[in-house]
Structure 1
């Protein structure tokens, strides 16, 4: 039996995933190919690479001026920096400005994010067991509507979003904010996320940590359930 009193979840690649629809790329082609031997067509490989560049939790994939790098490093603290940073990535990846704007609009629309198959089940199960939950995310837009569509908003006790609290993972401050809001000690909390570097920062405070693989949602049926099971929480 687990003595955990709270579970903190990352958003992107953990509870939800941004998964492209081919219609998002209709009429688009690259001004410049992603590699010297590639063509300008946005095929499945290019789509996947563009989505990776839009969702990778750490690092960066394109060249950046000092101003662009500053926006990138601080993108999850303010919506205008988030927009500037990702439009730069898309333009540097070869998309025309109006196509970059169109694709970026998908990124910040919670309705475009797909929940993992066990997201609702896990949040409901934890709620029923009296285990507190928080979504702790490096993000610059409100993700609450995604949970409302899923019917799970009432099963999340706190949303601790970087642009609202002014701290970005792995800064211990963002995890501490979640713990304080939940009223739970660090050694009674588990952080679940897809980035050892960012989400694993919770270990600095004494939280347990479970790493999940940000696979496509169709390929990860019960990753959240397994992560909880491995830490003594059986749903």
Structure 2
């Protein structure tokens, strides 16, 4: 069983994809767009960081990186993006967990690396009264950079040590937040080998937060 956080928790900050919601029909349109760049292009390494740290859609990303797209190819990418967004579903343990935390007086935030089109489905599918939202494309920084965690804590009005980060990525949702001064717990769905700082379901979380 996971241990209780060491300090009083005033806010829980959640990662989005892989933690709160999942994509059930993966089409990866932005990755398809990246594949249009030549293998030797110096822009390939910066592509993912750029599309997640600036508010842009597929067409804007193509223009930014000088990727020529025919109208047919662009239409197909938009179709794949629409299909992917329509397939997003919240995990079954999410809503009950969030309501239980709210009832305990805990503030809630979402902090996630994503491209702009992927933000709306999270807020539509989980219509909570979020106390803070820290999207990478709005903050201009991606996890594990401290600026994105700082944005969440500042919006929440809590010090880092009073906030618990919960997510499925070791670097982005565990190591990075700890380095910034937050508390952190990693979500590993279906895992049978758990450390004291991991949970395998969000249903465990309310009882761990004082």
Work out whether 1:159 is the aligned partner of 2:148: no
Work out whether 1:103 is the aligned partner of 2:80: yes
Which structure 1 segments of 5+ residues have no match?
21-46, 55-61, 89-95, 216-221
Aligned equivalent of 2:203: 225
Q: Supply the distance in 2 between the matched residues of 1:72 and 1:183 (Cα, whole angstroms).
A: 30
Aligned equivalent of 1:122: 97
* Contact 2:139-2:147 within 8 A present in 1 as well: no
Work out whether 1:192 is the aligned partner of 2:166: yes
- TM superposition shift of 1:209: 1.2
Q: Supply the distance in 2 between the matched residues of 1:137 and 1:120 (Cα, whole angstroms).
A: 18
Residue 141 of structure 2 aligns to a residue in which SS?
A: coil
Residue 155 of structure 2 aligns to a residue in which SS?
A: helix
Tell me which of 2, 6, 15 is aligned to 2:11.
6
Aligned equivalent of 1:170: 144
Q: Supply the distance in 1 between the matched residues of 2:186 and 2:40 (Cα, whole angstroms).
A: 30
Tell me the number of residue pairs that the alignment of Structure 1 and Structure 2 aligns. 177
Cα pair distance change 1:97/1:123, threshold 3 Å: same
Q: Per-residue displacement from partner, 1:180-232 (whole Å, max 9, x unpaired)? A: 111111111110011111122111122111111367xxxxxx71122554xx2
* Contact 2:14-2:111 within 8 A present in 1 as well: yes
* Contact 1:211-1:227 within 8 A present in 2 as well: no
Tell me which of 56, 62, 66 is aligned to 1:80.
56
Superposition CA RMSD, Å: 3.0
* Contact 1:6-1:188 within 8 A present in 2 as well: yes
- TM superposition shift of 1:101: 3.5
Work out whether 1:19 is the aligned partner of 2:29: no
Q: Per-residue displacement from partner, 1:127-157 (whole Å, max 9, x unpaired)? A: 111101110011122625533344x322x21
Which structure 2 segments of 5+ residues have no match?
32-37, 66-72, 191-199
- TM superposition shift of 1:81: 6.9
TM-score (norm 1): 0.64
Q: Per-residue displacement from partner, 1:56-88 (whole Å, max 9, x unpaired)? A: xxxxxx956212332223220124376648xx9
TM-score (norm 2): 0.71
* Contact 1:9-1:135 within 8 A present in 2 as well: yes
